[in-house]
Homo-oligomer: A and B are copies of this chain.
Amino acid sequence: MEFRISQEQELFKKAVREYCEKNIAPRSREIDEKEAGIPDDIIQGLADLGVFGCVIPEKYGGSALPGEEMQFANIAIQELSRAELSMSLPVYTLLTIGWGGFFISLYGNEAVKQEVLPKIASGQWSWGINVTEPGGGSDVAAIKTTGIRKGNTFILDGEKAYISQVRESQVRGGGHTTLVVSDPTRGIKGGMSLLAVMPNTLKGMTSTTYRDMGRMGLSTGGWVYRNSEVPDKYLLGQEGKGFYHCMEGFNPARALVAAACLGAAEKCLEIAADYAKQRTAFGHTISKFQGISFQLADDYNQLEMCKLMLQKGCWMIDRYYAEPGSFTQKQINVVIAQCKAVAPVLSADIIKRAIMILGAFGYTKESPLEMAMRGVMSYVSGAEGSFNIMRTIIARDVFGSEFVSK
């Protein structure tokens, strides 16, 4: 066994942290307040550090260390969320890495890889996931948007909702890994396909955006497709197997979601501990009171346990692709579902308790805690898979399909 990260990983972590603390943390509040997306220079800075390319092979402009892609990504996202507590940048990056860089490296054909991956690695393009529809998210098999093949194109019709980066993908360029019903007669076994859909080159599409509780530096919205044509070179993976590819893609994405939540919680916990060391009440710094110190200890404890499980999960994903036969998708499903089940709610609760330590000050916009809480709530609300779906996965893949409710 070996629980230490490698020297290369340590160096990467150190470099990202330094950049983030200096260049990103001071602008986090501004990113949230402006509601105008992530500043270009920050994206460029991160691209230069290899953050967007850490899951992309060198031949496509990336800087991946083969067999360690997700380990590097995990490090990057945790560092980003430690610094950018509005959570706009971490979410932007994890989606772009997870559903863009990592997923297209796996499932894009050569032409798509050559077109998309260098633009992701360089920070030029944004990328996201495009599954949810107005009818709701958890029941992925129930989506209705069709993408019917007609010669060399798929014709999209339908509506997607609660999609991140609707605006970014149009302003910056880029797109979304998009799940459609390609054969309405066949269900999840053969009837769904994944397409790389880029709104800037798509006809017949209209988009809207919503306003959210938090991570205001990132857009959320939806679109309607009416007879929108996507060339079939943008098919990701096998035609008809989109549901399964999508489920596989959720594992790295959810791992990075957990990373984002845990990074933010870790930083907020440190903020609370630092505050407790200098704040005095009843004749002592409040750090002397077990009501404070034990809360911090308990929170640290749960946080570290989840972080460790997440390291394991990222390493397992890396092993899965680098060492065929090392692990099964089922084994990976369980570990990632564990992290995604725990991390968002735990992180929101840790931030809540950090606010309780800072008191009235923690409730103002002078402190980043309230912004972090609003940001993390997006994953508490269920983005990338709800808490109950995670519990279903764990029950099913650990104890057996007898534990899937009717």
Contact = CB atoms under 8 A, between A and B. Distances in A.
How many copies of this chain does one complex carry?
Answer: 4
Interface residues of A, number: 95
A377 interface: yes
B370 A284 contact: no
Contacts of A220: 360, 364
A135 B279 CA distance: 8
A171 to B, nearest CB: 21
Contacts of A358: 381
A142 interface: yes
Contacts of A345: 352
A44 interface: no
Contacts of A288: 402-406
Interface stretch (A76-84, A189-197, A289-297): A289-297
A273 B374 CA distance: 23
Given A2-B1, A377-B352, A380-B352, A363 B213 contact: yes
Contact of A399 (B142, B293, B366, B398): B293
A136 B281 contact: yes
A333 interface: no
A126 interface: no
A322 to B, nearest CB: 13
Contact of A139 (B282, B292, B296, B362): B282
Interface string A124-144: 000000001001111100100
Interface stretch (A106-114, A228-236, A384-392): A384-392
B312 A308 contact: yes
A350 interface: no
Interface stretch (A19-27, A49-57, A150-158, A299-307): A299-307
A378 interface: yes
Given A3-B315, A210-B364, A294-B291, A138 B403 contact: no
Interface in A342-371: 342, 345, 348, 352, 355-356, 358-366, 370
B386 A359 contact: yes
Contact of A395 (B138, B294, B362, B383): B294
Interface string A180-220: 00000000000000000000000000000011111000001
A294 B287 contact: no
A335 to B, nearest CB: 8
A280 B298 CA distance: 24
Contact of A370 (B281, B355, B377): B377
A338 interface: yes
Contacts of A279: 136
A138 B71 CA distance: 40
Contact of A391 (B276, B291, B312, B355): B291
A272 to B, nearest CB: 10
User: When A and B form their complex, which 3 residue pairs have the shortest distance between CB atoms, in order from nearest?
Assistant: A213-B370, A162-B360, A297-B394
Given A210-B364, A292-B388, 15 more contacts: A1-B315, A136-B281, A138-B282, A213-B370, A213-B374, A276-B403, A284-B406, A288-B406, A289-B405, A291-B391, A293-B403, A296-B398, A352-B377, A355-B380, A363-B377
11 contacts: A2-B2, A3-B312, A138-B281, A139-B282, A213-B374, A214-B363, A291-B391, A294-B395, A300-B398, A304-B338, A305-B306
